[in-house]
Every structure is written in structure tokens, then in C-alpha cells.
Amino acid sequence: MFRKHFIGSLLLLIALALVACQTPVVDQPTEQPEPGMPNPASVYCEEQGGTIEVRDSQDGQYGVCVFQDGSECDEWDFFEGDCKPGDLDTAPAPVHVPWYVNDQYGFSLDPSRDYAVEGRNNHVVFKEAGYFLFVGYKWAGEEVESFRTGMPAGHFEDAGTVTVLGAEIPRQILVYEGKVKNVTYSPFQVGDLQIHAWLAAIGPEGADYDQVDIPVEPQDEADQVMATFALTSGETPEVFILGAE
């Protein structure tokens, strides 16, 4: 009888011990600042020269410390020493490539992608919606075929300037019977490179010249293309107008 009682008590103690071992342990949550109290991680970020950005995720909002070099860390990871400036670099900004680059002569132009580009010997033509911008180029002293021979009827009038590499390039419009037939940019030289450019209309063969009239919009677009002129070297030498006294 005593033996049975002893065995029963022993089994009860073992059962209680097993239950105690299986009692779940609840992880203590990360201590958060009380309402109205400053977030120590945010304060630390700003003290170290960073800037706090609050972002959204599926789990809610979280803070990111963005450093002056463009890298970033979760604010709490930075506060606790698990992340430092330079560990998480942001994606580099994409490098913009001009639409037209001439490596041989070392310059570029960046028209809208809507233009059709036709590169030829010593000149390039940008075509769009009934108009074309002609850009001829050559080295100073280089012998090439004449970029333009003769001019249609009309007279030139001064029509402002376009800025190229910080210099004001005069532009003239060819007017005939009150209509704009052509826009010409004064030839200019950058270093040893000479540029000759103009805007003209593309008319069907046999079209009536009297009907040609270049509106303001394509003129503005051509000005914008010319303003993108740059040397591929990144240099900005002095620009001077050819033929100017």
C-alpha cells in the first residue's frame, strides 16, 4: 500500500515538472518611447548628421536614417550599432546619355526622342513632323563640301538668340511675304570645332514655296536642341561667332 502511494506521488511530481518545463516564455518587446517622448533612435540619427525619413511597409511605418553620403540604415539598427553609414548604399542615379553623340568630332546634341536622326558626312539632320534641323560641323581649316549653296527668296530678320555653352548665339529668320521660310543660327566656333545650323521645312516635291510658313513651336524646339550642344570632354571653352568683327 505504501509502495503504491509512493509511486503515485512520484508520478505526480514528474508530471508537474514536465508542465513547468513546457510553460511558454514570452519575448519582451523592444522598448518603445512613451507617447510624447522623443524617439531616441531618431534623436541619435540627427545628432550624427543624418536625416530621418518615415516610410511605409506592410507591417506599418518605420524610420530610416539617411546619411550625407546617400547611404541609409534602419534608425534602430543604426542606434544599436548594427548598421553604419556606407553599409546600405542607395541606387546610383541613372546616367543620362544624349540622343546624338559624335565621338569623332567630340560633341553631342540631345533632341527629343521623337526626332529621326540621320548622320551623314560632316552633318547630322534631325527630322520631325514636316521640319528638319540641319547641323553641319567641321574642324577649323578642314576642307569640306559647302553646307549650303544659295538661299531661297526672302530677307533675313534678327530673331533673338539661343544660349550655347553660356554664349548667346544670334538667330535670324528668313521671311518672304510675311511667312517664315527658314531659321538660321549664326555659325560659331567652340575650340577648333565649327558649327553651322538651320531649321527648314520639309515639303513634298513640287510644293508651293509661297505656302511654307514655319510656326513658333518647331522654332522653339530647334532652339532647345541647339541649347543642348555640349563637348563630350565636358569642357566649356570660349564660344565665338564666325565672321563677327
- pLDDT tens readout for residues 193-213: 999 999 999 876 667 888 899
Decide if pLDDT at 28 tops 50.
Answer: no
pLDDT in tens, 96-137: 889 999 999 999 999 998 899 999 999 999 999 899 999 999
Nearest to 43 by CA among 82, 9, 75: 75
Q: How far is CA 131 from CA 53, 65, 110, 183, 213, in A?
A: 48, 52, 17, 11, 11
Predicted confidence (pLDDT) at residue 35 exceeds the cutoff of 70 = no
How much is the pLDDT for 59?
Answer: 77
**Average pLDDT for 216-228:** 97
**pLDDT exceeding 70 applies to what percent of the chain?**
81
**17 vs 82, higher pLDDT:** 82
Is pLDDT above 70 for 14?
no
pLDDT at 16 over 60: no
pLDDT value for 27: 46
pLDDT band per the 50, 70, 90 thresholds, residue 57: confident
Reported as a pLDDT band with limits 50, 70 and 90, residue 149 is confident
pLDDT of residue 224: 97
Q: What percent of the chain has pLDDT over 90?
A: 62
| Domain annotation for the chain: domains and CATH numbers | 34-92 (no CATH), 100-241 (2.60.120)
Comparing 36-45, 107-116, 175-184, 201-210, the range with the smallest average pLDDT is 201-210
141 pLDDT higher than 60: yes
The mean pLDDT value of the chain amounts to 85
pLDDT at residue 31 is higher than 70 = no
